[in-house]
Amino acid sequence: MPHRVVDFLRQSTQSLENQVSSLTKKSAAFDTRKRRHPPGRTAQGTKSAKPTRSSFGLDRDSDAAAPPYSPRATMSNSRPISFLESHGHGLHHHHHRISFPGMHFGRCSKEARPPSPATLEWTLESPPAVMYGDPATSSGALISGQLFLDVKEEFLEFESVNATLSIHVTHKKPFTNHCSECTHQHTELKKWELLPHPLVLRRGKHFFPVSVLLEGHLPATLDTPMVSIAYELKAEAVPASREGAVAHPPIRLERILDVRRSLAASETPHHSVRVFPPTNIKASAHYPHVIHPIGSNTLSLRLDGIAKHNAKVNTIEYWKLKKLTWKLEETIRTVAPVCGRHSPKTPSESGDAGAPEEPPAKKGVMRSETRVIGEHTLLSGWKSNYASLTDSTVELELEYCLGKNARFACDTKSRDGTEVTHQLVIEMVVSQEWAPVGKPHQATHTGVGRILRMHFGAILTERAGIGISWDNEAPPIYQDVPPSPPAYSQEVFAESSIDEVIEPLDPTPRNSMSRSSTDTGTRCLMPGV
């Protein structure tokens, strides 16, 4: 089939080229013949006896029957028009330039912009922003950094330098499609006026400190098929404009800050017991309640009550595990808000005063989606014991984790209705077999099977590592210091002198006389005498 398509394209291309070349040759030959023999004369210089036909297929004799307003077709203007002449490539070259003012092609068409007189950069000095604990008890995360304004000119005056930190929520399934207000919501958390009044700055880098405390109830960074949450840091430096000088555009900077949340894991694993009626099967599971995106987790499972004695026929019925499948499911719920333009009107707004009162309109619509971020199927790997009727058990240790290239989101719950939860789903396929008492190796299938399904709640969160909350690592504050330094005791100075309190270093008695000076012959006394 492909060779037929190639042959067809080759034949169509060759036929088109042959038609163009034949038309060019015919037009050239006709022009040569016309220059040698004027129109209306033969090669002997006499008029042609036979009527000639024009290139439009009309006889000259038919001109008499033409209406009086129709132009008479003569041989001078009735020569055939070649294919190349019709496209501007005939004997007389007429170059027609076609311009498209609204279209620009190539790199050369871009307008040359003057170089920026300054640039803005951002450096994060604090550790990565991690909120420790759940939203109800978390103290938040501390973010501190510096903005660098690099001035490239000798002197440059700025009117203002501002910075803002806001939360940008994007609903990928909004209340109304193609509506920017329903899709994007911005919440400003902090605004800094780093340069409130105009100021002239010299060449070089100028530093502006920026710090903010994110409250613990704020959501972490999120990116799901339903909604995305991002922390945007925007800075703007506005150069001053003067008369007669070149006006510089504002210098802007936009950065995305990654904010995460880490929940503490319990020291002991959770214990869950499930019973599956009408059978006597009981499942006992030990599993960690908090899991992490990187690394595997272990679940210990034990099945009891898998053997039953049938006294009527003196046989034992066993439930044997044939297949086990585990899945990690992620459920995303969010409320797509409605903007003021698309919000339904209440009866009071629509003007129906006599209409009965209705409940207020909803502020949005609930969206939810569930996806699998990890799964695996096991056909073996467990220990089965069918030795006795009371001790028949099935034990296994199951390792589960996220998929290799799975896109996930950690557990979160915000005040705007966005919530992400996870659960571990285990499905077991068991089949019933019977065997005579004391002969379990002679088991026979009964054709009865069941599917046992269990759901375990899991919390997916980031690892805390060696980090702790900012308030636990902060030094003591001034309010924790006592109101004044400790006072000295006044009783020592009131009752006795300093000589009585402090023992003298010289063991000489206080009232004894000192030795006489041999040089001067003057007698010296000890102090206090």
**Does residue 221 have a pLDDT over 90?**
yes
Q: Of 25-34, 322-331, 474-483, where does mean pLDDT reach its minimum? A: 25-34
Reported as a pLDDT band with limits 50, 70 and 90, residue 23 is: low
196 lies in the same domain as 143: yes
In a domain? residue 451: yes
Q: Is residue 491 part of a domain?
A: no
- 38 and 81 share a domain? yes
- Determine, yes or no, domain membership for 403: yes
Residues 277 and 418 in one domain: yes
Which comes out higher in pLDDT, residue 32 or 375? 375
Do residues 254 and 291 share a domain?
Answer: no
Give the residue from 460, 478, 494 where a domain finishes.
460
Interval 233-248 mean pLDDT? 84
Pairing of strands 259-262, 129-132: parallel
Structural domain for 67, as ranges: 2-86
Is 520 inside any structural domain? no
**pLDDT at 524 (0 to 100):** 41
**pLDDT classification of 97: cutoffs 50, 70, 90:** low
Question: For the chain, what is the domain count?
Answer: 3
| Boundary residue ending a domain (262, 288, 305) | 262
Question: Looking at the structure, do residues 282 and 240 belong to the same domain, yes or no?
Answer: no
Query: In the listed set 436, 460, 484, which residue is the last one of a domain according to the structure?
Result: 460
Same domain, 196 and 68: no
Encode 95-134: b = buried (16+ Cβ within 10 Å), e = exposed: eeeeeeeeeeeeeeeeeeeeeebbebebebeeeebbbbbb
- pLDDT greater than 70 at residue 356: no
In a domain, 400, yes or no: yes
Candidates 417, 423, 335; CA nearest to 374 is 423
489 domain residue, yes or no: no
Could you write out the DSSP letters of every residue in 312-346? TTTEEEEEEEEEEEEEEEEEEEEEEE--TTTSPPP
**Same domain, yes or no: 159 and 225:** yes
- Is the domain of 293 the same as that of 434? yes
Summarize the confidence of residues 458-473 as an average pLDDT.
82
Give the Cβ contact number of residue 221 at 10 Å: 19
Average pLDDT (43-70) is 42
Question: Which residue's entry shows tokens 């050369």?
Answer: 108
- Residues 398, 300 within the same domain: yes
Judge whether 256 lies within some domain.
yes
The stretch 479-496 carries a mean pLDDT of: 59
Can you give the CATH number for the domain in which 429 is found? 2.60.40.640
CB atoms near residue 388 (< 10 Å)? 11
Residues 73 and 141 in one domain: no
- Of residues 105 and 246, more confidence is placed in 246
Degrees, nearest 5: CA angle 158-163-164: 155
Claim to verify: residue 147 and residue 275 sit in the same structural domain: no
Torsion 508-511-512-513 (CA) sign: positive
Same domain, 371 and 281: yes
Q: Which amino acid is at 258?
A: D
**Residue 488 domain-assigned (yes or no):** no
**Rounded average pLDDT over 119-141:** 90
Average pLDDT estimate for 355-381: 79
